[in-house]
Amino acid sequence: MSNESQVRADDRAHVFHSWSAQGLIDPLPIEKALGSHFWDYTGKKYLDFSSQLVNMNIGHQHPRLVEAIQEQAAKLCTIQPAFANDKRGEAARMIAEIAPPELNKVFFTNGGAEANENAIRMARLHTGRHKVLSAYRSYHGSTATAITATGDPRRWPNEPVAIGVVHFWGPYPYRSPFHSGSEEQETQRALQHLRDTIVFEGPGTVAAILIETVVGTNGILVPPPGYLAGVREICDEFGIVFIADEVMAGFGRCGEWFAIDRWGVAPDLITFAKGVNSGYLPLGGVVISDAIAETFRERPFPGGLTYSGHPLACASAVASMQIFKEEGIVEHARALGDDVIGPLLKEMSDRHPSVGEVRGLGVFWAIELVTDRDSKAPLVPFNAAGAAAAPMNAVAAACKERGLWPFVHFNRLHVVPPCTITPEDLRAGLAIIDEALTVADGYCTA
């Protein structure tokens, strides 16, 4: 069995880490995980309030999911995508069954970035147009077109990559780019801005609008009432494909199978990954409307992946969805948001002057930290690094010291534990955050 020193030595000598300056990081070696917790090699136990990368929806090491992977590995580890396979077909059918009625086909990928990459490809070929509109506050993946569609700073060092992407401002009532005074006004002005962007870009050039149903890493921004329905109407008016990026928001995270179900809106394409099988094996995909699927009935789709619909990954998705249904995990996630997270975060916001706003759904929440509630000045500057990021680093360190692993982005703490977390563990984690927020309070200027 590996010991901590060997794990650390191998990592530092040979592993090249994503999104990192290799000489400035010191990754924590992790020995094991179970449920909502993981342990380092010293035996220290952490409550996983980040669900790793907001993908461990079913929790770590769910025994039935592990068993399903083992059973499939004993039967058939892999078969190439051109063949039919029982688990591949079953997973596709089960995903189509929980999607809106007119979305009945699934193209499998290895993750969310490839899902968005292929959804954009489908939209362009279906419409014969080339432009894609996406929001500034967004993340869609790190492959060529997906990173270009991404609005956040991870795009900057990758430019120029792909062409034809235009960014627009999505709704964000707390920091309204439209200077709105209400959610209703935010919806109205955001939709007018989107319409104006399309008109000035040329409606006949726009293939797709790509939107995270609930914006994830960039703020857990829940769309105000009427916004998604308005996007659907604009897409219908101009013949534009509506792509709902549900990679982070889907599969129970927002207390729905797909977050968009909450608003009763049907997009043309849904991209998914993460929660479909909680990352036990790499899997993502695109759920495709009948109209777009028809485009490729006699016209070949010019895309594919060696591991598309990998049997092991699909077996894990089938088992995961069965477990979700039998254990009521979607309903559990919704109740946790309504009965535990929402009320307790509201209480925290009343106690801590550093809390500007709390917002979210299900087990998908953000605590936005500020130095002054009146001015809404963020606790750290946009895209802060180095010394400028010290206040948020201090808040994160206070969580880790107390045995909670947080999800931190810019000036926000995100509350994103597994959808299966118990109310007791959830309350314990929120109590730790409550203590850590006193660190943030120390930076308040008002």
Of the two residues 426 and 1, the one the predictor is more confident about is 426
The architecture that CATH gives domain 64-327 is: 3-Layer(aba) Sandwich (3.40)
pLDDT digits (tens, 9 = 90+) for 50-83: 999 999 999 999 999 999 999 999 999 999 999 9
- Read off φ and ψ for residue 82, nearest 5 degrees: -70, -20
pLDDT confidence band for 273 (50 / 70 / 90): very high
pLDDT digits (tens, 9 = 90+) for 222-266: 999 999 999 999 999 999 999 999 999 999 999 999 999 999 999
State the residue for tokens 């069995």: 1
Domain limits, the chain? 4-61+328-442, 64-327
What is the predicted pLDDT for the residue at 384? 94
Across the chain, mean pLDDT equals: 97
Bridging pattern class, strands 103-109 and 165-168: unpaired
Q: Judge contact between 395 and 248, C-beta under 8 A.
A: no
Q: What is the CATH number of domain 4-61+328-442?
A: 3.90.1150.10
pLDDT digits (tens, 9 = 90+) for 318-344: 999 999 999 999 999 999 999 999 999
What is the predicted pLDDT for the residue at 423? 98
State the residue for tokens 């079913």: 58
Task: Decide if pLDDT at 1 tops 80.
Answer: no
User: How far apart are alpha carbons 10 and 435 in whole angstroms?
Assistant: 36
Q: Is the pTM of this model over 0.75?
A: yes
Q: Judge contact between 207 and 127, C-beta under 8 A.
A: yes
Mean pLDDT across 127-136:
98
State the residue for tokens 């090699």: 41
